[in-house]
Amino acid sequence: MKTGSTVGRAVVAVAALGWVGPYLWMIVTSLKTLPELLHEPLALLPKTLTFAAYREVWNTVPVGRYLMNTTVMALLIALLQISLALPAGFALAKLRFVGKGTAFGLVLVCLLIPAQVTFVPVFLLLGQAGLVNTMAGLVLPFGASALGTFLVRQALLSVPDEIIEAARLDGASDLYIVYFLLAPMLRPTLAALFLLSFVFHWNDYFWPLVMTTDDHIRTIPLAIALLREQGSGMRWHLVMAGNVILSAPVLLVFAFTQKHLVRAVTAKGF
């Protein structure tokens, strides 16, 4: 379909309306007041520009703490994954040792097992260890990334051995080589990994739902979902204000890193 095709234009119009529209409706709703919502729920614009819904959400729910919890959790996971995937990927790509095939096979198998399969036993395990409602319980199960290990290994395969040999002759230890020589060379891979992991875990609803019952450790997706469950009556303006708070940071990250994200997702295929 060329730019000029009528069908093509119609499809573009549908895409624009269908995919931008809902975001706009979310924002418009969040700017309305309860009486407006009750009397004219379909008014395309709010009567006056009011951030009352945001203020109410902010005052009734500790949004700041939830945002903090979520950011810390997603950062810890992403950084832990990268710092563990680097040496593991290096060993699998560049070192010779007994059991290498088995280790790589194990990484590949784990690539195929989602958290949705293992959550019951992992929940029981972490419960016995007393890690329910802790940051450790949120972070540890995702500390090692099979995908990250795999991607780092693949990227390192194309780095010539001579670079590593030369660094060793200069007396550099393997750990130094991994973190200070190779890591900077893998910047694009690591950036993609960081983005995917950070955004995925920032958005994650499933694991925090399983692992937390307590308010102090709750993450923002859980808290916003709870906005709808708590209280009764018409509160869509509040829920949509919460929704804006939940999606704005991700959309902002998306706006600045769209190219990288597209490349990461295309390469990874998830």
6-65: contacts with another protein (CB under 8 A): 7-9, 11-12, 15-16, 18-20, 22-23, 25-26, 29, 37, 41-42
Specify the residue for token string 């051995």. Answer: 161
| Cα–Cα distance, 136 to 122 (Å, whole number) | 13
Q: How far is the CB of 270 from another protein (least distance, A)?
A: 6
Integer Cα distance of 145 and 107 in angstroms? 9
The number of C-alpha atoms within 13 Å of 261 and in the hemisphere containing its C-beta is: 15
Residues 216-235 that bind another protein (CB under 8 A): 221-222, 224-225, 228
Binding residue (CB under 8 A) for another protein from 77, 140, 186, 190: 140
Size, binding site for another protein by CB under 8 A: 97
Q: Which of residues 89-118 bind another protein (CB under 8 A)?
A: 90-92, 94-98, 100, 103, 106-107, 109-110, 112-114, 116-118
Select the residue interacting with another protein from 79, 135, 136, 144 (CB under 8 A).
144
Six token digits for residue 247: 């999606």
Helix/strand/coil for 32:
coil
Spatial separation of the C-alpha atoms in residues 34 and 69, rounded to whole Å = 30
Complex with another protein: residue 216 or 262, whichever CB lies closer = 262
Q: Which stretch binds another protein (CB under 8 A): 48-56, 58-66, 138-146, 184-192?
A: 138-146
Say if CB 197 and CB 260 are below 8 A apart: no
Among positions 33, 50, 133, 247, the unique one binding another protein when judged by CB under 8 A: 247
If the CB atoms of residues 54 and 202 are measured against another protein, the closer one turns out to be 202
Stretch that binds another protein, among 47-55, 59-67, 181-189, 258-266 (CB under 8 A): 258-266
CA distance 201 to 147: 14
Rounded to a whole number, what is the distance in angstroms from the first to the last CA of the chain?
Answer: 27
For residue 61, the 8-state DSSP code is S
The interface with another protein within residues 159-218 (CB under 8 A) comprises 161, 164-165, 168, 174-175, 178, 199, 202-203, 205-206, 209-210
